[in-house]
Structure 1
Amino acid sequence: MAPQQEEDRFLAAYDPRAFDPIAVTVDVVALTLREGALHVLLVRRGAPPFEGAWALPGGFVRAGRESLGEAAARELAEETGLDAADGLGRVHLEQLGSYGRPERDPRMHVVSVAHLAFAPDLPDAKAGSDAAAAAWISVAELEPGWQPDAADPRPNEQGRWPGAHGGGPGHRPVAPELAFDHAGILADGLDRARSKIEYTPLATAFLGEEFTISELRAVYEAVWGATLHAGNFHRKVLSVPGFVESTGGTATHGSVRGGPRARLYRAGDARLLHPALLRPDREETVR
């Protein structure tokens, strides 16, 4: 029997039910800057399991009809109103990791292939068909230990949770527990984003086509949660070949101190930054 005939015979007799069922989902850690602060997109689940809990946007992959990347783009589009068929504009979307502990989902063994997404000026969140609510939440408020008001467990229009700014001196605003293992996925996504902007030019993906060095510095400060020295940062950026290139233009307005208008730059053609821009806490360990 010819090899192709053997293959056809095998496939005709193959029964996928001989193996225990397993499902595949995608979850998306979507990051953007809003009012100068790093925000992540969360949805409030509208059905069991974890009904009413907050989670990362995601869902099951449509078997035989879409790839993992297409499923992630579709889920992100549902909560943002972006057009998945149009490639989501300037959204950077990449695989983050796979999460497959048998007990991570109470329904069945579900493997999630998480994705990381970030882009400038992502639109206001809107709940998809299977979500009760959706909101951009400040990453600075996503700390363990605080629970929202049980009567109204929703963030306000600024993406802040009820009661997050009370409690007197020393109070640390924190957000509620996330469904499934999404707190760990979110932590991994933040680690990936903070690391990637050290050695790749992806910080520019948080900005428009043209930007100033000060605006680029603001991205690094928001993602890293650290204050950077303006002069040192400016010198470091311009010393990295291919990181940014001048447009020849200047910003519409001058500085608040009345100085000259800042020069405008665009992303260069570099794929890796050499030397890398290390986080302040890592610079000391490398030296």
Structure 2
Amino acid sequence: MIEFPPESRPKLIACNVPDMVPTVPVSVDLVVLTVRSQALCALVWRRDHPPYTGCWALSGGFIKLDEDLPAAAERVLAERAGLPGAPVHLEQLQTYGYPDRDPRERVVSVAYLGLAPDLPASTEAHMSWRAVAELTEMAFDHRRIMLDGIERARAKLEYTSLGAAFCPPEFTVADLRRVYEIVWGRPLDPRNFHRKVTKAEGFLLPTSHTTTRDGGRPAKLYRRGPAELLHPPMLRSLKE
């Protein structure tokens, strides 16, 4: 066995380890967006207890010890948001952990963005679809989270096929254009839009059906294709 001289041996440093290490609760909050009544809407509820009594809030809940984050988001969507089995595209948005976001205690929130077609009312009586333009004041930092979700949705429409996630299984190009106009908040040229989305590889697949619900000539019905990324992208910065 090799012996080290006393002066070269590592010194042990005593430290005090507390019996109870403080922990920080982790919650999941959902920004669920849809196009409803010609407006971009979010699923929210009005708080009936402090803090922020009477303010609109996103649906959320604390994660359980035996579930991962995606499972927690699905559970909150079903149990708290009242949308069990709904065709909602869920993806992780961002983590919010600054110390003063909840006046009661330190809470870290993992936000998820949900995109969905025009869904029926939630099965939970306290949940409500509200136009995002009306949600000027919200509980906690939920308005900031919602605005981050809206910007993510706007960006997603540029380079992915998720614009079709706001549409029913079969839709017209005009239906899809209205989604882009409502989410982006500006009008689009119908002819240019039609050319771009129909030429984007794998974005739209034609069906054998037509509809006259908008009046005029029968319009072709499409369904969402297999493409996840748009080639070429639908850039907001380009003039129509």
Q: TM-score, normalised by structure 2?
A: 0.86
Structure with bigger RCO (C-alpha 8 Å, 6+ apart): 2
CA shift for structure 1 position 22:
0.5
Given the alignment, which residue of 163, 170, 183 partners 1:203? Answer: 163
Q: Distance in 2 between matches of 1:124 and 1:233?
A: 31
2:91 is equivalent to residue 89 of structure 1: no
Paired letter, 1:23: P
Q: Is the 8 A contact 2:83 2:123 kept in 1?
A: no
CA shift for structure 1 position 208:
1.3
> Per-residue displacement from partner, 1:206-226 (whole Å, max 9, x unpaired)?
111111101111110111111
Q: CA RMSD in A?
A: 2.1
Paired letter, 1:69: P
Q: Which residue of 1 aligns with 2:98?
A: 101
Given the alignment, which residue of 58, 82, 86 partners 2:60? Answer: 58
Q: Distance in 1 between matches of 2:155 and 2:238?
A: 13
Q: Which residue of 1 aligns with 2:194?
A: 234
Q: Which residue of 2 aligns with 1:265?
A: 222
In structure 2, runs of 5+ residues without a counterpart are 1-16
Identical aligned residues as a percent: 51
Q: Is the 8 A contact 1:80 1:122 kept in 2?
A: no
Given the alignment, which residue of 131, 137, 140 partners 2:133? Answer: 140
> Per-residue displacement from partner, 1:243-265 (whole Å, max 9, x unpaired)?
111112212x2652x32x11111
Q: Distance in 2 between matches of 1:93 and 1:193?
A: 11
Q: Which residue of 2 aligns with 1:219?
A: 179
Q: Distance in 1 between matches of 2:164 and 2:214?
A: 21
Q: Distance in 1 between matches of 2:220 and 2:19?
A: 63
CA shift for structure 1 position 124:
1.1
> Per-residue displacement from partner, 1:129-162 (whole Å, max 9, x unpaired)?
xxxx3211112333xxxxxxxxxxxxxxxxxxxx
1:283 aligned counterpart, secondary structure = coil
Q: Distance in 2 between matches of 1:66 and 1:114?
A: 16
Q: Which residue of 1 aligns with 2:142?
A: 182
1:265 aligned counterpart, secondary structure = strand
Paired letter, 2:69: L
2:201 is equivalent to residue 283 of structure 1: no
Distance 1:255 1:49, change over 3 A: closer
Q: Distance in 2 between matches of 1:217 and 1:16?
A: 59
Distance 1:70 1:268, change over 3 A: same
How many residue pairs end up in the alignment? 224
Q: Is the 8 A contact 2:47 2:53 kept in 1?
A: yes
Q: Distance in 2 between matches of 1:190 and 1:122?
A: 18
Q: Which residue of 1 aligns with 2:7?
A: none
Distance 1:109 1:245, change over 3 A: same
In structure 1, runs of 5+ residues without a counterpart are 1-14, 143-174
Distance 1:28 1:80, change over 3 A: closer
Q: Distance in 1 between matches of 2:121 and 2:152?
A: 24
Q: TM-score, normalised by structure 1?
A: 0.73
Larger Cα-atom Rg: 2
Paired letter, 2:175: E
